[in-house]
Amino acid sequence: MQETITIPNKLNSIQIVLDRVKRIHKKDNVTQESIQRIMIVLDELLSNIIKYSFQDNEEHFIEVDYVFNRDAGQVEINIRDDGRGFDLNLYPICEDGLNEGGKGIKILKELSDHIHYFREGNLNNNKIWIQANCLTT
Amino acid sequence: MEIKVSSLEKIKIIHILGELNSVTSVEAEQKIIQFIVGGNQNLLIDFSNLQYISSAGLRIFLVANKLIKKNGTGSISFCNLTGTVKEVFEISGFQKIFRCFADIEAAKSQLQ
């Protein structure tokens, strides 16, 4: 199963992606806990891109490729944007509980199996793999 | 996302239903801050009907906690953390800085 979702670089647009992913998994047997983890990872990554990747006030578009591999029990997400880009693997994680910054990246890294960043032409690609466990019948 | 409020003597219980993400947290933060500014300084946040929380949701409680500490001697505690909500609290270190109770009953015996 593969789907591409395109949204403008507005925080409110994240809900479009989250709702679409919920619909994708509505009729399969992926556990609620796995879906919630996917929601959190998408929210962290998309909000990070929308807040920090664009340095002008122009409208930009963000493309989310969502692939659910049922046999592997894994979701593969590739998010493309034309902002300044950042490799999440190079960002330090925040250890201070009371500090407001850096928590999102720590959560994102902990809940993902693997994160890979690469630049292709003028596009940043953030590729993330997350477990999608299915209920056994 | 929906917020309901109930009382436990001097403590206000804020029940958060649904999802706390970058989109829904904007409204949730406004409501909770208004609530604190309105004189409610001792809050118990009930997550029994919360599906998940991201860092945007956590930020609400850091802001709220700062406001409460600035105003006086109140506190924020949490109860009914399960699944991914509990996991995010552990990852972020929130379980070390805030009091977390198994349920409302457990909070009641400790907070009063």
State the pLDDT at residue A72: 93
Token output for A92:
């330090």
State the pLDDT at residue A98: 59
State the pLDDT at residue B110: 86
Full DSSP string of A37-59 = HHHHHHHHHHHHHHHHS--SSS-
3-state secondary structure of A96: coil
CA B2 to chain centre: 13
Q: Which residues, at least 6 apart from B42, have a Cβ–Cβ distance to it below 8 Å?
A: B10, B11, B12, B74, B75, B111
pLDDT tens digits for range B41-100: 999 999 999 999 999 999 999 999 999 999 888 999 999 999 999 999 999 999 999 999
Chain B residues whose beta carbon lies within 8 Å of the beta carbon of residue A12:
23
Q: A42 vs chain B: nearest CA distance in angstroms?
A: 10
Q: How many CB atoms lie within 10 A of CB A101?
A: 10
Chain A residues whose beta carbon lies within 8 Å of the beta carbon of residue B94:
97
Is A107–B62 a contact, with Cβ atoms under 8 angstroms apart? no
Q: A49 vs chain B: nearest CA distance in angstroms?
A: 12
Full DSSP string of chain B = -EEEEEEETTEEEEEEEEEESTTHHHHHHHHHHHHHHTT--EEEEE-TTEEEE-HHHHHHHHHHHHHHHHHSS-EEEEE---HHHHHHHHHHTHHHHSEEESSHHHHHHHH-
Parallel, antiparallel, or unpaired: how do β-strands A61-69 and A74-81 relate?
A: antiparallel
Global pTM exceeds 0.90: yes
State the pLDDT at residue B111: 84
Is A18–B96 a contact, with Cβ atoms under 8 angstroms apart? no
> Looking at the complex, does the CB of residue B108 fall below 8 Å from at least one CB of chain A?
no
pLDDT tens digits for range B2-34: 999 999 888 999 999 999 999 999 999 999 999
Q: A17 vs chain B: nearest CA distance in angstroms?
A: 12
CA dist., res. A106 & res. A17, Å (int): 21
State the pLDDT at residue A95: 62
Among A12, A100, A107, select the one facing B88 at the smallest CB separation.
A107
> Looking at the complex, does the CB of residue A101 fall below 8 Å from at least one CB of chain B?
no
> Looking at the complex, does the CB of residue B52 fall below 8 Å from at least one CB of chain A?
yes
CB B16 within 8 A of CB B48: no
CA A51 to chain centre: 14
pLDDT tens digits for range A95-125: 655 566 678 999 999 999 999 999 999 999 9
State the pLDDT at residue B72: 82
The list of chain A residues with pLDDT below 70 reads 92-101, 137
What's phi and psi for A13, nearest 5 deg?
-70, -20
State the pLDDT at residue A97: 56
Is A96–B93 a contact, with Cβ atoms under 8 angstroms apart? yes
State the pLDDT at residue A35: 97
Q: Which residue of A has its CA nearest to B88?
A: A107
Is B56–A47 a contact, with Cβ atoms under 8 angstroms apart? yes
